[in-house]
């Protein structure tokens, strides 16, 4: 059932990606088609209108020239005869536009036939017999042979006849129809090209989404978080890929930390549990043991139970430090240091001093910071048992000079360190004291779990800082952490 559900989810994911690619392709083609159709239609309409108006203007100009000529000159049908090759009136009519000329006599008979012959109607006959020169009769959409013509008949006056001139417009319409067909073909070609280009572009864009989805499916199927996500480019898809890659890296690191924590915790828990189990088995024969041995057994049980309790508490604190939901607020580290010093004096009986300089207010989690500082003081008290000098808590604000030899981080925004005069830390152990469950060889005989300083590191890192440890001149150790500072005027 689980396999079927996973397969269904993969199919749905692929369908969505395919749908995205199809949608992108169709949208791109639709936009290109709309723009191309609109531009093609407007271009064709403008071209057709221009051609028709031009043809009409030329024909009207020829008709007007003929009217002017017959009104100012007493012309006869013979003046428009075909045989006149000396640049007569007929040639003037034909040259501008290639019009068809046909001459009618006084009785409306065809004196000089046009090519093709033009029809002569009743209006044309009346015009040929008209006494007034320049009388005009126009006919539109006249079917002559295989074409459509515009025909104008102009009287010569005094009943001398008339002249018919005609212009074919069907060839213009044929030309415009051919232009229309070519425009349609061009639009179709552009739409197809736009669709292909849109498909290519969508495939180029969504291919990275496909790879990203494949990586996510591999993680869901195998549970392996170390899969490398292929990332290329700098656009939104690339940003998504890089974010996904970083998320997998963080998850992998978190999983590794949890695995190490469980392994280390299991290893550390075995020692006190084994000791408790051994002592409990001896309790069955407690009546057979001497009183001194009984006392040692009870004391050993109490000690082991305390260590086990401390270990469990530190594990809980460490887990809480990794996923702490305590809200951020403005915290005065000087006040936290005073509270920790009071509790340490009461718990250990040791003298604990606090030195503060500079501005020590930070944006942080007070519970976590107090837990980290308490761990440092407890660690100093544990390793400096029987010491006569006080344990010093030094809180240094931003820009305040610190003790010489403090090293990197000395000028951090706020620096907290605990100074003791115990046996100190060996040079080879300075880099490892903050590792989980790590205990220096000299400290393995002392109580503790090796988690206290690890909690300090977790808290410091969560607050934008880090831990540090160094040997003090004159003996002892200085262990602490730095945290980021804050501007009290900016909020809070």
pLDDT in tens, 117-151: 888 888 888 888 888 888 888 888 787 777 788 88
**pTM summary value:** 0.44
Predicted confidence band of residue 17 (pLDDT cuts 50, 70, 90): very low
Predicted confidence band of residue 40 (pLDDT cuts 50, 70, 90): confident
Average pLDDT over residues 43-64: 79
Euclidean distance between CA atoms 340 and 350, whole angstroms: 12
Which range has the worst mean pLDDT, 12-21, 204-213, 415-424, 425-434? 12-21
Q: Which of 186, 191, 134, 140 is nearest to 166 (CA)?
A: 140
Average pLDDT over residues 268-289: 74
Predicted confidence band of residue 10 (pLDDT cuts 50, 70, 90): low
pLDDT at 446: 47
Residue predicted with more confidence, 328 or 304: 328
Q: For the chain, what percent of residues have pLDDT higher than 70?
A: 74
């Amino acid at each position: 059932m689980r396999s079927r559900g996973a397969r269904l989810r993969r199919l749905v994911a692929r369908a969505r990606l395919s749908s995205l690619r199809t949608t992108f392709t169709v949208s791109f083609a639709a936009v290109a088609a709309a723009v191309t159709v609109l531009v093609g239609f407007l271009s064709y309409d403008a071209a057709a209108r221009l051609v028709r108006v031009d043809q009409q203007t030329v024909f009207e100009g020829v008709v007007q020239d003929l009217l002017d000529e017959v009104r100012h000159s007493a012309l006869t049908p013979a003046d428009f005869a075909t045989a006149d090759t000396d640049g007569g009136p007929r040639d003037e009519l034909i040259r501008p536009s290639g019009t068809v000329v046909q001459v009618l006599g006084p009785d409306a008979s065809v004196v000089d036939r046009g090519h093709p012959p033009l029809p002569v109607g009743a209006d044309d006959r009346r015009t040929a017999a008209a006494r007034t020169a320049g009388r005009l009769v126009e006919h539109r959409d006249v079917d002559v042979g295989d074409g459509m013509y515009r025909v104008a008949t102009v009287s010569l006056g005094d009943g001398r006849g008339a002249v018919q001139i005609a212009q074919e417009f069907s060839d213009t319409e044929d030309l415009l129809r051919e232009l229309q067909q070519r425009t349609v073909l061009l639009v179709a070609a552009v739409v197809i090209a736009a669709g292909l280009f849109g498909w290519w572009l969508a495939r180029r864009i969504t291919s990275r989404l496909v790879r990203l989805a494949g990586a996510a499916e591999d993680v869901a199927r195998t549970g392996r978080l170390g899969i490398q996500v292929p990332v290329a480019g700098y656009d939104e898809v690339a940003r998504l890929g890089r974010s996904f890659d970083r998320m997998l890296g963080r998850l992998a690191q978190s999983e590794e930390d949890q695995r190490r924590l469980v392994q280390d915790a299991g290893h550390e828990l075995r020692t006190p549990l084994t000791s408790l189990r051994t002592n409990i088995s001896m309790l069955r024969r407690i009546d057979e043991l001497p009183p001194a041995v009984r006392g040692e057994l009870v004391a050993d049980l109490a000690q082991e139970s305390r260590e086990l309790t401390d270990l469990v508490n530190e594990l809980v604190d460490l887990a809480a430090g990794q996923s702490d939901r305590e809200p951020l607020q403005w915290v005065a580290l000087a006040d936290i240091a005073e509270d920790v010093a009071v509790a340490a004096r009461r718990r250990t009986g040791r003298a604990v001093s606090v030195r503060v300089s500079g501005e020590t207010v930070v944006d942080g989690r007070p519970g976590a910071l107090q837990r980290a500082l308490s761990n440092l003081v407890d660690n100093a008290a544990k390793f400096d048992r029987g010491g006569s000098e006080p344990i010093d808590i030094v809180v240094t604000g931003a820009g305040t000079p610190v003790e010489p030899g403090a090293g990197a981080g000395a000028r951090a925004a706020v620096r907290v360190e605990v100074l003791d005069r115990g046996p100190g830390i060996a040079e080879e152990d300075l880099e490892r004291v903050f590792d989980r469950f790590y205990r220096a060889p000299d400290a393995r005989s002392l109580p503790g779990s090796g988690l206290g300083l690890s909690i300090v590191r977790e808290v410091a890192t969560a607050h934008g800082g880090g831990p540090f440890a160094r040997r003090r001149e004159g003996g002892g150790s200085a262990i602490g952490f730095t945290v980021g500072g804050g501007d009290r005027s900016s909020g809070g």
